[in-house]
Structure 1
């Protein structure tokens, strides 16, 4: 089998009302999805999605004519492109989709999975009042979720902690609560001050009292020394790594004892090929591998496969904060039949379809395709 062509297409879904993401000062009026299609001489097309693939154009010849099964070779080329340009890892997902389809097996089975489901935590995205967040938490519990993640981003962390207090009061110990401080990175237009170590330590101390499962990104993503120091000061697990990009970064974080929970996203960092190496490495050092999944439904699916195949994680992230962030918005490029949802027990179950196991909605793709790369809202 040989690769015969690579296509990259962009799609843009209008959001009305806008989605006010906690980590983004600008309300999101549109939601972009980039999809890469890898064609072969045997009629099998692999599909991946994730980052914008900026800078990939002009490098197609490095893959055309090659065997799609040679993922180690391809991952090295993608890693080189990643260094010079944007993150090209959706291509790796498409290659694994081809391998699964050609083998007539779902990818998670090719990775050695023993199970076909894992508990999902509802990953919320908005800043709302503490009363509203508590009400939404109860609704999530009624839907079957056993855990949820609350975003921090108030100017005063005490206001964020008050939200967790209200949620814990409402649901008791029926759900695990994760907290995402979103201090690891910022949007290009966000110039607000990042937490210092003292702030992170004070927040962690307060969250201990509320039995929080983990505190995510309380410090910049490359501040390994202070994250390791913070870990020694608190019983709350410290999580991070969603925007770290290279294998050696995770190696160094792990060797320095920086994190309890590692969260690389295969749609953004390393694909499945390097993702499995990262998972093996950090788990061998006694840590949890529980990936970030906040791209789109295809990204959630790809990370689900690697969690089922390799991870000891008790949970997978499930971006979901209705009504602002619904399954229909997140998975808009997929057919309704392959959109993701949990079962009544809170599990996210993988399909037994070959490859990554989803179908695209061709009518939706025609309606929302754009001929440019969308990077955010412009000032009006």
Structure 2
């Protein structure tokens, strides 16, 4: 089997009402999705998505004529492109989808097959009042969720803490609660000060009293030494790493025991191929691997395959904050949106590859000829 072409198409879903992401002061009125199609001379096509593939144009020839199973070779090329131009890791996802289709196996079985399901935590995205968040949390319990994540980003962190207090009071111990401080990275226009070690410690101590399961990104993602100090100062788990793009970041973080929970995303930071190596590394040192999945439904699906195959963490992130961030919006290019079962589990598809079924009607309706950078 040989690769005959690599095709990239862009799709844009209007969002009305807009999605007001906690990490972005500008309401999001559009949601961009880029799909990579890897075609072969045997009629099989691999599909990947999760990032905009900025920087890939002009490099298609580096893959045409190659054996899709030469995954280590391909990842080296993608890594080189990443260094010079931009993140193109959805191509790795498409190659794994293709390998699964060629072998007749779901990707999670090719990666280790530890389990075919994981509990999902509802990863919320909006800043809302304590009362509204408590009401939404109760609805999550009714749907079968066993955990949720609350975003911080009020101007005064005490207002964020009130949200966690309200949710804990409303749901008791029916939900594990994670908190995302969103201090790890910034949008291009964000020049506000991030937390320092003292602030992060003070907030973590407050969250300990509320039995929070983990605190995510309490410090900038490059402050390895400070994060390690924070981890020693508090009893709750410290999570992070979702936007650390390079494998050697995780080597150093693992060496210095920076995190309890490592969250590299296969669509953003190394593809399935490199992130599996990161997962093996950190889990071998006693930490958890629980990937970030906030790209789109295909990115979520790819992370599910890897996490189910190798992860010891009980939970996987499930971007979900209805009514404004629904599965229909997140998975608009897919035939069937991914949803938990009645017990709160995400079940891995047993179809060959990643199990992606595209919604051809939606693709025709929302295809565009260029990328709206910043709308992902």
CA distance in 2 between partners of 1:10 and 1:133 (Å): 34
1:367 equivalent in structure 2: 365
Tell me how many residue pairs correspond in the alignment.
Answer: 375
Contact 1:82 1:88 in 2 (8 A): yes
**Whole-Å Cα distance in 2 between the matches of residues 162 and 150 of structure 1?**
11
- RMSD of the TM alignment (CA)? 0.8
Q: Which ranges in structure 1 are unaligned for 5 or more consecutive residues?
A: none
Give the equivalent residue in structure 2 for 1:37.
Answer: 37
Q: Give TM-score, length-normalised by structure 1.
A: 0.98
Q: Which of residues 331, 342, 345 is equivalent to 1:344? A: 342
Report 1:159-178 matches (<5 A): 159-178=159-178
Match of 2:221 in 1: 221
Query: 1:161-185 CA distances to partner (integer Å, 9 max, x unpaired)?
Result: 1100010011111110000000101
Structure 2 stretches lacking a partner, 5+ long: none
- Whole-Å separation in 1 of the counterparts to 2:85 and 2:315: 32
Q: Secondary structure at the match of 2:317?
A: strand
Q: Secondary structure at the match of 1:64?
A: coil
Distance 1:133 1:192 in 2: 25
The separation in 2 between residues aligned to 1:233 and 1:201, in whole angstroms, is 7
1:243 offset after TM fit, Å? 0.3
Q: CA deviation at 1:114?
A: 3.0
- Maintained 8 Å contact 1:52/1:86: no
- How much has 1:115 moved relative to structure 2? 1.8
* Superposition pairs of residues 1-380 of structure 1, within 5 angstroms: 1-336=1-336, 339-376=337-374
- Separation in 2 of the partners of 1:189 and 1:334? 32
Cα deviation code 1:79-121 (max 9, x no counterpart): 1111111101000000000000000000001112132111000
1:317-353 Cα deviation digits (max 9, x unpaired): 00000001000000000013xx100001000001110
CA distance in structure 1 between the aligned counterparts of 2:49 and 2:212, rounded to whole angstroms: 32
Q: Deviations over 1:154-210 (max 9, x none)?
A: 011111011000100111111100000001011112222211111111100100000
Contact in 2 for aligned 1:124/1:150 (Cα 8 Å): yes
Output the CA distance in 1 between the equivalents of 2:190 and 2:339. 32
Report how far residue 376 of structure 1 moved: 3.3
TM-score relative to the length of structure 2: 0.99
> 2 CA distance for matches of 1:324 and 1:123?
13
